[in-house]
Amino acid sequence: MFSSKLAAYADVAGAEVIDHLHQLARSLPGVRVVHVNSTRVGGGVAEILEQLVPMKRELGIDASWEVIEGNAAFFHVTKSFHNGLQGNAVEVTAADLQAYEQTNRDNVERLAPMLKDADIVIIHDPQPAALLNLIPKRRGKWIWRCHIDVSRPHRAVWKYLRPIVAPYDASIFSLAAFAQSLPHPQYLIPPSIDPLSAKNCELAPADVEAVREEFGIDPAVPMALQVSRYDWFKDPIGVIRACRLARRYVPLQLVLAGGGATDDPESEAVLDAVRKEAGDDPDIHVLVLPADAHHTINALQRAADIVLQKSTREGFGLTVTEAMWKGKPVIGGDTGGIVLQVIDYHTGFRVSTPEGAAFRMRYLLTHPEQLDTMGLKARRFVHDHFLLTRHLREYLTLMVGLVHGSEERIELG
């Protein structure tokens, strides 16, 4: 018998999928897993952990989620790491590195009791990565889970971080192009969305209408949407330019919906630039939403005719998956994890320039039957590849391998 929550997932993903999760979880009795990242709200990692950790618990695994605490200097350097890993030529000073290492040290006393005794510790991204070397008598296996597009890292940043992550027992990347030269096994596990969360659950048409009304979005004019933190890599300025180009040929309004993440110090500057570019254009809606506006984002994604994610670098792009699940074709930057999801001409289009994005928007808005067909394929593709249940299965399989790794054979119960 499934719990009512798991039964609800069985309805979406299939009962056999849930059976399989139970089978894997039975091989992990009493196993204690701790995830550590750098923020509870904002951005894809928090979004994933908010769903993944309770589901592991639902399956009987002792999973918990801890957050490293830092000051402005720490988040400044970790954002530089992020930008550097995604290929920007950032400058990181000795004082920055000192702030990074000191913050990791400052967190040890609070986190050590949980981390020392855990069977598996999963450290997300570079922010808490230095904890490993600060906890000498650790018992379990430590995994570095990198969510960033590290296909072409700035050398100086990777040179500093590589010795920090090399001693981990394994690492996880979202796609093969991100794998690095490291002395431990590397696993490829793309992220996922929770189809039953407030962000992705079905909504009544009246709920969608209400959100449209709340933000003054004209229901008679086609709507393009990009949901993103205000971050240069998401190219919000390019999105505005693309919409202005497309608007020469088709009626169109643009909604940019975003907020900050508590670990992202750059969002104010990006938002200022976006507002300046948008000016007083009545057909460009720049929204700043609170971190828990899941229902609003769900409704906006459903209200949109086309969803854009014109990133210039992207680890995965949960916003792409979310929109596809709602039956929207996505026009996405031809980069990183978007490539896994946007199958050109099938589930959307991949583009590299504002002109390319404008061209594809114009095409979709003048070929409504194609727009619908691609939207249906997009939803199916997410169903088959990017739901939480697949993500859990891969995590549990990896955990079974790590926990039972030295045994001659592993029997799944």
The residues of the shown chain that bind ligand UDP, judged by CB under 6 A, are 43-44, 47, 199, 227-229, 257-259, 289, 293, 297, 316-319, 322
Measured between alpha carbons, how far is residue 250 from residues 308, 362, 363, 366 in Å? 16, 6, 10, 8
**Least Å distance between CB 13 and ligand UDP?**
19
Q: Which C-beta is closer to ligand UDP: that of 323 or that of 399?
A: 323
Q: How far is it, in rounded angstroms, from Cα 127 to Cα 74?
A: 8
Q: How far is it, in rounded angstroms, from Cα 328 to Cα 226?
A: 12
**Least Å distance between CB 321 and ligand UDP?**
8
Give the residue from 259, 393, 272 showing the smallest Cα distance to 319.
259
Q: Which C-beta is closer to ligand UDP: that of 44 or that of 354?
A: 44
Q: Which C-beta is closer to ligand UDP: that of 257 or that of 365?
A: 257
Q: Which amino acid is at 125?
A: D
| Helix, strand, coil tally for the chain in percent (to 5) | 50, 15, 35
Residue 76 region by backbone torsions, left for phi larger than 0, else alpha for psi between -120 and 50, else beta: alpha
**Least Å distance between CB 158 and ligand UDP?**
19
**Least Å distance between CB 371 and ligand UDP?**
22
Q: Which C-beta is closer to ligand UDP: that of 61 or that of 297?
A: 297
Select the residue whose beta carbon is closest to ligand UDP and give its number: 44
Q: Which C-beta is closer to ligand UDP: that of 46 or that of 132?
A: 46
Q: How far is it, in rounded angstroms, from Cα 323 to Cα 326?
A: 5
**Least Å distance between CB 405 and ligand UDP?**
30
Cβ(311)–Cβ(342) below 8 Å? no
Q: How far is it, in rounded angstroms, from Cα 264 to Cα 76?
A: 8
Q: Which C-beta is closer to ligand UDP: that of 171 or that of 321?
A: 321
Q: Which C-beta is closer to ligand UDP: that of 60 or that of 87?
A: 87
Within 326-387, residue ranges assigned H as helices are: 338-341, 354-366, 368-385
**Least Å distance between CB 388 and ligand UDP?**
12
Q: What is the sign of the dihedral through the CA atoms of 193, 212, 351 and 289?
A: negative
Q: How far is it, in rounded angstroms, from Cα 330 to Cα 357?
A: 10
Q: Which C-beta is closer to ligand UDP: that of 42 or that of 70?
A: 42
Question: At 63, phi and psi to the nearest 5?
Answer: -100, 140
Q: Supply 97's token pair.
A: 């590195």
Q: Which C-beta is closer to ligand UDP: that of 51 or that of 104?
A: 51
**Least Å distance between CB 218 and ligand UDP?**
22
The secondary structure of residue 219, as a DSSP letter, is T
**Least Å distance between CB 249 and ligand UDP?**
28
**Least Å distance between CB 171 and ligand UDP?**
18
Q: Supply 208's token pair.
A: 């969608």
Beta-carbon contacts of 149 under 8 Å, excluding residues fewer than 6 positions away, are: 85, 86, 87, 178, 313, 314, 315, 335, 336, 337
Cβ(52)–Cβ(395) below 8 Å? yes
**Least Å distance between CB 385 and ligand UDP?**
15
Q: Which C-beta is closer to ligand UDP: that of 44 or that of 140?
A: 44
